[in-house]
Chain A
């Protein structure tokens, strides 16, 4: 069996990629949603890995729950995206500063 640090570093890299994807993305909102999916995937990976590593089923239950939450979240996010697009005509993030202080 591989050492946990390999798994954890992969998880961490996935997570960071998700975060940096949100941060450095300047073009459209879909990329943000995808990055969020990546974050949730990293978290799921984490749950499953620890569930296996610690030999405990609860982690996998949580992973399934996160899966459902991620699905519904994406659905709602895409719905919001469609509404946004219907009003503004684009999905650019840079132009989404309507309430700038």
Chain B
């Protein structure tokens, strides 16, 4: 059954991918839905068996690479952490498959689309179920690959292709980090299997490793590289630029890959490597600060975007920031809980945004939407639920993880973080709550509640999609409301035994009790801020509209708006100072001056020129005059004599007498040179 979870999506991908033309659009859709439904049922059964009954499962298939120390097996590890990821991936994937059957109804390449989606699910399963780094890396690269294929699914669009290249290249930077981490891990622990590594970490805390002549702590180095890997995949600040651009793909892709699953792979990696991270405290500080910065950065940008999907994409980046900064203060289970919750409400947000885009004739600009809450009440209600859940409105799913994250960030006493760091990340996180609420309700107002800005001909055709489109939204809406409440005690309850050995907590970092002792007003701050933000969003879009427009058109307001709308100019910065100089370097230095220049000069071209010149000189010697030849012979004769004399004087006699041919050869060369 456990292997079936992994293999069914692969099977589906192969069937639909290779035989899609025989199955047709309908056939491939039904088969995909059926198989993915079966997969998700099996995943939930696995969750019950492993998560609730506590029977971890380990399946070893066959050795893969066996070479001295290096032993890598094809083997699968199903523990609590894995099954949490399994149920998220399989549920979201199943719903997205169902949704796609309606959403991509008129697309001519639907079987290919379904095949890619299933392939993605397979790689994601491979990533989470692996029991060694190499097997995990296959899944890690696989999701990157399928991400590329899916973003450029409409391969005739230039933007889609460019975004796909950007996504895979930026991901590659992180992949290099992960590769380096793997090399270092193998160098240190002589193994790549999780169980071996994690049980040996404690013995290697103080051992160093030589890098660039510096003796650095090896655990710290490994953590740095692992974190670079996670930064690439989970779109943290610095390598975040691919995620908003990845919205060029179809909306179900954004929902599946760039909201719920692939971007969480980085978080999953860090949680999986919790035994390593726990022993490198200074890196954890770094993780939490970068996470908090990402969180704030993306939240501020989200409020100034006009593309419906980009708003949600930045929201994803912001929420990933929450997950990462709570990792930085060692609350891995809270991070996983937020990951699970986030998957539900973000998939819902994306799918309902897709529903809006679909019904408005593929319009993504929010300035040309509005006034469809009466026509699309169903989509409106589910997107409202998702927004409230995202904001962290009490008793919805988001509340249980997000507010806990903020409270945990506040607690610095009895924990491994300093007061300054705690204040820093707490306030960044809390401010992000404000912006999150603002952009969520701005999105609602612009798309649903404001007066319509769409052309009449489009407004006439607005209608809800078919049942295949709506049922996934309903299920996800239930998830967004109830999932947090139902699974709260299991994931983050006091002394929960759910995680068992899959997550390692250093004893000094357990501060879940301290959370209950913080003052009540601190607990209320996020809620108050989000309510304020909602009120501001209302005012901006209703009564105070003219004031805001006036403010925005003023000199400073225009600049601020532009600054946030252009993503803090980070894309511009990267392009100007990194991409273009590198491309220029690649063209002018390495291509023109090195490859076509120096190497050609000392290589084929130069050799050809030199040979030509020497050949001409030799031709000059071959004059045909008998006298000249005789002259050379005589000269050579004397030179030969002289060489013998010189060598014997230098007492090389024995050496050169024994090897007469060298003398002859030298004579020959010398003859030609004169």
Contact = CB atoms under 8 A, between A and B. Distances in A.
B63 interface: no
Contact of B623 (A23, A25, A93, A101): A101
Nearest to A96: B626
Q: Which residue, B618, B620, B630, has most C-beta atoms of chain A within 10 A?
A: B630
A98 interface: yes
Contacts of B630: 22-23
Contacts of A26: 627
B634 A25 contact: no
21 contacts: A19-B634, A22-B627, A22-B630, A23-B627, A23-B634, A26-B627, A93-B625, A93-B626, A93-B627, A96-B625, A96-B626, A97-B623, A97-B624, A97-B625, A98-B624, A100-B622, A100-B623, A100-B625, A101-B618, A101-B620, A101-B624
Contact of B626 (A19, A97, A101): A97
A99 interface: yes
Contacts of A100: 622-625
A93 to B, nearest CB: 6
A14 B624 CA distance: 28
Contacts of B620: 101
B674 interface: no
Interface in A39-78: none
B619 interface: yes
Interface in A2-29: 19, 22-23, 25-26
B631 interface: yes
Contacts of B625: 93-94, 96-97, 100
Nearest to B624: A100
Contacts of B626: 32, 93, 96-97
Nearest to A101: B622
Nearest to B630: A22
A94 B628 CA distance: 11
B621 interface: yes
A32 B633 CA distance: 15
Given A19-B634, A23-B634, A101 B627 contact: no
Given A19-B634, A101-B619, A25 B624 contact: no
Q: Secondary structure of the A side of the interface?
A: loop
Q: Which residue, A96, A99, A101, has most C-beta atoms of chain B within 10 A?
A: A101
A30 B620 CA distance: 27
Nearest to B622: A101
A81 B631 CA distance: 21
Contacts of A25: 627
A65 B634 CA distance: 24
Contacts of A22: 627, 630
Interface residues of A, number: 14
A99 B624 contact: yes
Contacts of B618: 101
Contact of B631 (A23, A32, A97): A23
Contacts of B634: 19, 23
Contacts of B623: 97, 100-101
Contacts of B627: 22-23, 25-26, 93
Contacts of A99: 624
B123 to A, nearest CB: 68
A98 B282 CA distance: 87
Interface string B603-643: 00000000000000011111111110011001000000000
Interface string B158-185: 0000000000000000000000000000
A39 to B, nearest CB: 11
A101 B672 CA distance: 14
Shortest 6 CB-CB distances between A and B: which pairs? A101-B622, A100-B624, A97-B624, A101-B619, A97-B625, A22-B630
A69 B205 CA distance: 92
Nearest to B623: A100
Contacts of A32: 626
Interface string B221-257: 0000000000000000000000000000000000000
Contacts of B621: 101
A26 to B, nearest CB: 7
Given A23-B627, A93-B627, 6 more contacts: A32-B626, A97-B625, A100-B622, A100-B624, A101-B620, A101-B621
Contacts of A97: 623-626
Nearest to B620: A101
A32 B623 CA distance: 19
Interface string A83-101: 0000000000110111111
A19 B632 CA distance: 12
B637 to A, nearest CB: 9
Nearest to A98: B624
Nearest to A94: B625
Contacts of B631: 23
Nearest to A20: B634
A14 to B, nearest CB: 15
Contacts of B619: 101
Interface in B357-391: none
A99 B626 CA distance: 10
B623 to A, nearest CB: 6
Contacts of A96: 625-626
A100 B621 CA distance: 9
